[in-house]
Structure 1
Amino acid sequence: MDMHILTVILLGIVEGLTEFLPVSSTGHLILASELLGYDAATWAMFNVVIQLGAILAVVVLYWRTFWAVAMGLLRREPASWRFLRNLVIAFIPAAVIGLAVHDYVEMLLGAPMVVAVALVVGGVAILLIERMAKDNRYHGIADIPLPQVIGIGLIQCIAMIPGVSRSGATIMGALTLGVERRTAAEFSFFLAIPTMLGASTLELLKNGDRITSADVGWGSIALGFLVSFIVAVIVIRWFVGLVSRRGFIPFAWYRIAAGIGAILWLSLR
């Protein structure tokens, strides 16, 4: 198989596997670029845009939820309006802060050691939060009060540091604020839709003219999109069942092991 196509498929798999797990999809894509030895700058926009394939997986798997909310909005049901309000309010901090620090975040995308350290620190944080967060008062997205929603939105912004994990920050923030595990995971799925749509749109507006002149073309993006979509569908189904039974501890230990391994590799190469 052509190495270019193999790289596209591999990055699509990495994106689909890691976008909704608390392990940092961006961090894994950055480390993959170092491991495979390709030019990360050339593939930067590819990595952002194929995230939309993973986002489509959420829409497909949870279409009944979105349909029910849409019908509830038409009928002016309070629960549906609270659901929409919570997603919009939680998204606003990432939109505002993301625009303000976009250039700085792009600079960090070229720093694999930042990713490695963030993986370890995030893993330790998950272990601590899982031990301390026992107050599970909120069992539905529409049930989360506004102050907690604002807190989750602000905590999500920490994930602008590569390696932190958007889903991990959102889920752990929700747990510390009293949201039960399954609801915290699903809130992170739904919040990913406006967040990643915004990030991909911004990237296309700023750098869309580069994509046809670079080694990565629209055909490669389409293939990466499809691969990330298929893998994400499988991962989301598995992930919700796992965290309901065992929590997030396995992902904490994975992050710590992967981060330490990356630090050693980056230091010794």
Structure 2
Amino acid sequence: MTTFEAIVIAIVEGLTEFLPVSSTGHMIIASSLMRVAQDDFTKLFEVAIQLGAIISVVIIYWKRFFPLNRWNFYFKLIVAVIPALVLGALFSDKIDELLESPTTVAVALLVGGIVLLFIDRLFTSPAIEEESQISFGKAFVTGIWQCVAMLPGVSRSAASIIGGMQQKMTRNLAAEFSFFLAIPTMAAATGYKLLKTFKTNPDVLKDSHNLMLLALGNVVAFVVAMLAIKFFIGYVQKYGFKLFGWYRIILGVVLLMLIYKGYL
């Protein structure tokens, strides 16, 4: 992976991590278009730079995370992340296989786009407007919804937002809780991927060029994600999810055409 390729992939990650369009799917697409080899470092890079993006959530919502006496809030996040931790550990190898499939991404983008077209009509009577109103049970169910995003192209953000809205959260609160839930989820995914890479191919983490790319990728993803979050919250409050649905559908169709023609 070159420095240019790393920057492009990190920009894609920062732009899409918190939008309901699948950051993993977009990184796979970007890597495929640039013909980046899907080696151990590329797989690690595409997971590890998500850490940079989620740090942006901590910075933006600093007052919501600190002081550290908000134990109920932290426990809700722990409860919500449990399903992803369990299923991720059980099916990590299968997930890695799916990450190499542009066809899986294209189909998931298309189907998910259709769902987003109607999501605002499905959940029209939200009753939960504040994080303090989210019960442990609702947090856990939202975490189960998040697990759907283990299929590349689904979007962790979309799955958890839909889960939150299904649990009677407002669009704004569901989006924010999705952001908060990303922190333990992506931190665990990054830590697990680093540990797995260290055990199976430690030379990847000893290469100074690779370490430089990981640092650069996290910085770029962090900066871009800061901008993307602010845009997304403002847009969703006013207009809902339909635009993202159409975007996913169009992109999914284009990708299927490119795959059919042999470009991907």
Which TM-score tier does this pair reach, normalised by the shorter chain? Answer: over 0.9
Cα–Cα, structure 1 residues 229 and 83, in superposed 2: closer, same or farther, change >3 Å?
same
Letter in 2 for 1:144: I
Letter in 1 for 2:239: R
Query: Aligned residue for 1:155?
Result: 145
User: Which stretches of structure 1, 4 residues or more, deviate above 6 A after TM superposition?
Assistant: none
d(CA) in 1 for partners of 2:88 and 2:42?
21
Query: Aligned residue for 2:28?
Result: 30
Deviation at 1:37, TM superposition (A): 1.0
Moved more, 147-156 or 19-28: 147-156
d(CA) in 1 for partners of 2:220 and 2:127?
37
Please report the RMSD computed on the Cα atoms of aligned residues, expressed in angstroms: 1.5
- State whether residues 119 and 241 of structure 2, in contact with CA within 8 Å, keep that contact through their aligned partners in structure 1: no
d(CA) in 2 for partners of 1:171 and 1:210?
38
Query: Aligned residue for 2:4?
Result: 6
Q: Does 1:257 align with 2:242?
A: no
Q: Does 1:114 align with 2:116?
A: no
Query: Aligned residue for 1:53?
Result: 52
d(CA) in 2 for partners of 1:184 and 1:8?
31
Moved more, 16-25 or 81-90: 81-90
Query: Aligned residue for 1:76?
Result: none
Give the counterpart of 2:116 among 126, 129, 134.
126
Normalising by structure 2, we get a TM-score of 0.94
d(CA) in 2 for partners of 1:170 and 1:146?
15
Deviation at 1:81, TM superposition (A): 3.5
Task: Give the count of matched residue pairs.
Answer: 258
- State whether residues 86 and 141 of structure 1, in contact with CA within 8 Å, keep that contact through their aligned partners in structure 2: no
Letter in 2 for 1:53: G
d(CA) in 1 for partners of 2:177 and 2:205?
35
Q: Deviations over 1:223-263 (max 9, x none)?
A: 11110000001111111111111111111111111111111
d(CA) in 2 for partners of 1:214 and 1:266?
34
Structure 1 segment 167-206 matched on structure 2, within 5 A: 167-206=157-196
Deviation at 1:215, TM superposition (A): 9.6
Moved more, 53-62 or 141-150: 141-150
- State whether residues 123 and 253 of structure 1, in contact with CA within 8 Å, keep that contact through their aligned partners in structure 2: yes
- State whether residues 48 and 200 of structure 1, in contact with CA within 8 Å, keep that contact through their aligned partners in structure 2: yes
Moved more, 205-214 or 113-122: 205-214
Normalising by structure 1, we get a TM-score of 0.92
Query: Aligned residue for 1:15?
Result: 13
d(CA) in 2 for partners of 1:224 and 1:241?
26
Query: Aligned residue for 2:259?
Result: 266
Where does the alignment leave 5 or more consecutive residues of structure 2 unmatched?
none
Query: Aligned residue for 1:219?
Result: 212
Cα–Cα, structure 1 residues 118 and 101, in superposed 2: closer, same or farther, change >3 Å?
same
Query: Aligned residue for 2:73?
Result: 83
d(CA) in 2 for partners of 1:222 and 1:47?
12
Q: Does 1:145 align with 2:138?
A: no
Cα–Cα, structure 1 residues 160 and 92, in superposed 2: closer, same or farther, change >3 Å?
same
Where does the alignment leave 5 or more consecutive residues of structure 1 unmatched?
74-79
